[in-house]
Amino acid sequence: MTNFFQDKLAVITGAGGLLGSAVAWELARQGARVALLGRSQAKLDAVGVGRSFCVDVTDAGARAEVARTLGSVAFLINAAGGNQTEDTTTLSEFFPDELDGTARGFFSLDPDRYLDVIRVNTMGTVIPCQVFGREMARQGCGAIVNFASMNSYRPLSRMPAYGMAKAGVVNFTPWLAAYLALAGVRVNAVAPGFFVNERRQNPHDRRRRADAVRTQRDGAHAHETIRATVGPVGSRALVVERRTGGLRHRHRRVSGRRFPRIVRRVTL
């Protein structure tokens, strides 16, 4: 696999985050040249590999300029995304307190913040696919991996916008895979579970202790996620994989003569 990635250019959006940085390290370890894209220069510098570009994931103009600077791109990993505290309810179900403003429920969510979450998770995936996928289609090869979430399939009680946006990523990915099949560009998605990060290590968070207990298990989960991400980048098949508990659901898309067909395999 090292020979496959050797000296090929991989662009990772959201590269300063937990998953994006881990994927960048693994691709660099396997010989790829990596370009790190993100909004925080300090976080990109901390990754310690590749070349960094501090840009907004939804800024098409900035992305296009980066694409012109980099030239031919072999792989695109869309790891940018996230949620906002202002768009997370404090209630898991309706309670009259939210009507008088003493609690933040669905009726008190700011539509602008709601749109921000949808924009960064959906358009933050679509725009890089347009910008970097254009050159892949022109050269007749390439691989794109999008990050979805377990929230794509099972909504979290207090995060309506995030789940809505990540469900859109799952829907968009096979559409783009079928669209770009004849161009020779593979498109996949990985839907990881939950990880301990800076947002989940707040000392006032009641879940901190439970998160600490899960850290060791999450370490193995992170390793599986990296393998599931890097694997489709180097694979000849189009795979959408998600993991729920002990079940692994694997959707393999195999290109036919003209239109791809879909084969589903479920393993325990």
Domains by residue range for the chain, with CATH: 2-85+119-267 (3.40.50.720)
- pLDDT of the chain, 268 residues: tens digit per residue: 446 888 899 999 999 988 899 899 989 988 999 999 998 899 999 998 999 999 888 888 887 888 888 888 999 999 998 888 887 888 888 888 888 878 888 998 889 999 999 999 999 999 999 999 999 999 999 999 999 988 888 887 788 889 899 999 999 999 999 999 999 999 999 888 776 655 544 444 444 444 443 443 444 445 555 566 666 666 544 444 444 343 344 444 433 333 333 333 333 2
What pLDDT is stored for residue 58 in this prediction?
A: 84
Cα→Cα distances 168→2, 147, 214, 227, Å:
33, 11, 28, 23
d(CA 172, CA 222): 24
Give the pTM.
0.76
What pLDDT is stored for residue 195 in this prediction?
A: 66
Alpha carbon 142 to its chain's center: 17
Burial of 91 (0-12, 13-18, 19+ CB in 10 A): middle
Cα→Cα distances 192→87, 228, 244, Å:
21, 9, 9
Give the active site residues: 162
Cα→Cα distances 5→146, 186, 250, Å:
18, 15, 24
